[in-house]
Structure 1
Amino acid sequence: MDLQDLPIFVILAVIAEVIGTLGGFGSSVFFVPMASYFMAFKTVLGLTALFHLSSNLSKIVFFRKGFDKNLVLYLGIPAVLFVIAGSLLSRYVKGEILNFVLGIFLVLFSLLFLIKKDLQIRPSKKNAFAGGVFSGFIAGLLGTGGAIRGATLSAYNLKKDKFIATSAVIDMGVDLSRSIVYTSSGYIGWSELYLVPILFLVGIVGTYLGKCLLSKISQELFKKIVLLLLFGIGITTVVLASTRY
């Protein structure tokens, strides 16, 4: 990434973190397709995992009213195990193909929840386990599984603070696991290391701003806006990936 693009990149990363905090989907669902415009997709995967470590630590601190221990076990453990599988598989797939698949995923996910507004996942141990498996695998392969985890957690009607804290604790384990795989696979080069402390600060600032705005915005209206944004980003990502492949 050219240094002249850095200010735009940082601003977009902060916006992604704020929206991710407010929407409950996590910042990666916006950060990954956005960052893909600036650098190679597998580099984005590595940076996203490291970015999320500071992001999730910030959420745990700012929303420290507790988390659901049972959900951390039933959803978190399979997520950590399957993020490793997804991360290992990403080694063998071209970045252009992964970007294309990410775009398709974002389009289908946003359409599903825009059309099925009352769609709910039954709060059971089986569904929590399935949500953990799927979200972890997608996070490892495509860099973003927070949308699936958020949809699963929403079935349990957690309070906002507890929802965000629980998601952050699970995501922390997911990101630690995939960071090891991505780093050992050489996804992040020496030339990108200067972005790590920058993204660490972005995670703190973006989470704090999201927390400040959370009580002032209607959650239902905001989620609709988020889904429309995801749809637009997904379409754009598919088109750009198709022209590059």
Structure 2
Amino acid sequence: MTNINYVFLLLALIAEIIGTIGGFGSSVFFVPIGNFYFDFYSVLGLTAIFHLSSNLSKIVLFKKGLNKKLLIYIGIPSVIFVIIGGLASKLLNTYFLEIFLGLFLVSLSLLFLIKSKITFSANKKNAFIGGSLSGFSAGLLGTGGAIRGLTMAAFNLEKSVFIATSACIDFMIDFSRTFVYYNNGYIHKHDLKYIPFLLGIGWLGSFLGKKILVYIPQNKFRRLSLYFILFIGLVTLIQLGVRKIT
């Protein structure tokens, strides 16, 4: 097939593997990567469709770990606010919001890494706040998994519970925002050639990520997730700085 960027597809696979290991989905890597190859709104459309396959595969692979209470307390506000964020994406200047997202991820991940004993109580209020912020960010910026990852990492969940619950919530978010993005005109005909590749990458990356995850001890899993989120925040800020200069 002509005009396919295979380097982008390879990076998408790596993003999916790391996103599976980290437990917060590949969009936190996929969106910054995609912004180097496509316009911002095309990335939003591709991310939503890519994640439907990605998260469905994680649900199948990690289904025994699902936490139904967190699915309700985080998932419902996530779906509501992803719709609001998706609608707002046509109205707001996303550049400054991306700066805020990068600063937020860096500061929060550093806080949890330095003060490793800090945890949130597993209550409805904290779950609602985290779900609302992650959903709104996912709709507005294309990625909210890192915010949800911070919320769920604070609950100190066992890794299979973390991944299964996060993937199920993410699937609900992606299913909802796909309709919003389509209505906004973000899903472009010339980008559809990547969809079959991305759907396959979603399953392959999740499978490989699960295999690698077996070799990561539970006591290192939380810190690994936080290091991933710190890296994501720094890459986001660097990318924005480069974009501003050029």
Q: Does 1:124 align with 2:107?
A: no
Give 2:189's aligned residue.
190
* Segment of structure 1 superposing worse, 106-115 or 132-141: 106-115
Q: 1:122 to 1:84 in 2, by over 3 A?
A: same
Which is worse superposed, 138-147 or 65-74? 65-74
Is 1:3 aligned to residue 3 of structure 2? yes
Q: Deviations over 1:5-48 (max 9, x none)?
A: x1110111111111111112211111111110111011111111
CA distance in 1, matches of 2:188, 2:87: 18
Q: 1: CA distance between counterparts of 2:107 and 2:243?
A: 16
| 1:92 Cα offset (Å) | 1.3
Q: Which amino acid aligns with 1:93?
A: L
Amino acid of the structure 2 residue aligned with 1:17: E
Q: Which residue of 1 aligns with 2:235?
A: 233
Map 1:116-195 onto structure 2 (within 5 A): 116-195=115-194
Following the alignment from structure 1 to structure 2, what is the Cα–Cα distance between the partners of residues 104 and 12?
Answer: 24
| Residue matched to 1:43 | 42
TM-score (norm 2): 0.89
User: What is the aligned partner in structure 2 of residue 214 from structure 1?
Assistant: 213
| Structure 2 residue runs without a partner (length 5+) | none
Distance in 2 (CA, whole Å) between partners of 1:158 and 1:105 is 22
Cα 1:205–1:54 shift into 2, 3 Å: same
Matches within 5 A, 1:15-164: 15-94=14-93, 96-97=95-96, 99-164=98-163
Name the % identity: 50
Gap change, CA 1:73 and 1:231, over 3 Å in 2? closer
Task: Using the TM superposition, give the Cα deviation of residue 58 of structure 1 relative to its aligned residue in structure 2, in angstroms.
Answer: 0.3
State the Cα deviation string for residues 148-169 of structure 1 (Å, max 9, x = none). 2122223444322222111111
Q: Per-residue CA shift, 1:204-233, capped at 9, x if unaligned?
A: 011011000002134255335424522431
- What 5-or-longer segments of structure 1 have no aligned partner? none
1:63 counterpart SS class: helix
Whole-angstrom distance in 2 between the partners of 1:152 and 1:229: 17
CA distance in 1 between partners of 2:98 and 2:43 (Å):
10
- TM-superposed CA distance for 1:70, in Å, is 1.4
AA aligned to 2:23 is G
Note the alpha carbon deviations across 1:165-214, whole angstroms, 9 max, x for none: 11111111111111100011111211000111111111101101100000
Contact 2:119 2:155 in 1 (8 A): no
Structure-2 change in CA distance of 1:104 and 1:36 (3 Å): farther
1:204 is matched with: 203
Cα RMSD, aligned residues only:
2.1
Match of 2:215, SS state, is coil
Kept after mapping to 1: 8 A contact 2:83/2:136: yes
Distance in structure 2 (CA, Å) of the matches to 1:156 and 1:114: 14
3-state SS, counterpart of residue 63 of structure 2: coil
In structure 2, the CA distance between the partners of 1:195 and 1:102, relative to structure 1 (3 Å rule), is farther
SS at match of 2:149: helix
Moved segments of 4+, more than 4 Å = 94-102
Identify the match of residue 243 of structure 1 among 232, 235, 245.
245
Q: Using the alignment, how far apart are the partners of 2:237 and 2:188 within structure 1? A: 29
Q: Does the 8 A contact of 1:18 with 1:207 survive in 2?
A: yes
TM-score norm. by structure 1 comes to: 0.90
